[in-house]
Amino acid sequence: MHTYTNIRGRRVSEDGRDIAMKQKVTISMDSDILSAARRDAHAKGVSLSALIERSLKDVVETEEPPFTSRWRGQFRPSERSDPRYDALSKKYLQ
């Protein structure tokens, strides 16, 4: 299969699909965790890099929406006749 570089500088296959480029990353971790991760990767028949990549992908794909998105529209303005409250509610709630 031949690969090409498109106009945006990304590598693509003959049919135009993006080809993900791998990058090296240096991380630090406790030696006990590293040993356990190597054993787990070996038991699953994958490389340590693949195990870490899969774990990070799971974290990124299952990330919860931000606090503001979760709570937007959940609060109702209270009934007040305070001029400061009126100014703030006009600015932020309407």
| Predicted pLDDT of residue 30 | 96
Mean pLDDT of 59-87: 78
Instruction: Tell me whether residue 56 is in a domain.
Output: yes
Distance of alpha carbon 63 from alpha carbon 80, whole angstroms:
37
Instruction: Tell me whether residue 37 is in a domain.
Output: yes
| Predicted pLDDT of residue 93 | 83
Q: Give yes or no for a contact between 13 and 24, defined as CB atoms under 8 angstroms apart.
A: no
Number of domains in the chain: 1
Q: What's the number of CA atoms in the CB half-sphere (13 Å) around residue 85? A: 6
| Predicted pLDDT of residue 79 | 72
| Predicted pLDDT of residue 58 | 84
Instruction: Tell me whether residue 9 is in a domain.
Output: no
Note down the domain range covering 64.
31-68
Give the pLDDT band (50/70/90) at residue 32: very high
Instruction: Tell me whether residue 89 is in a domain.
Output: no
Is pLDDT above 80 for 4? no
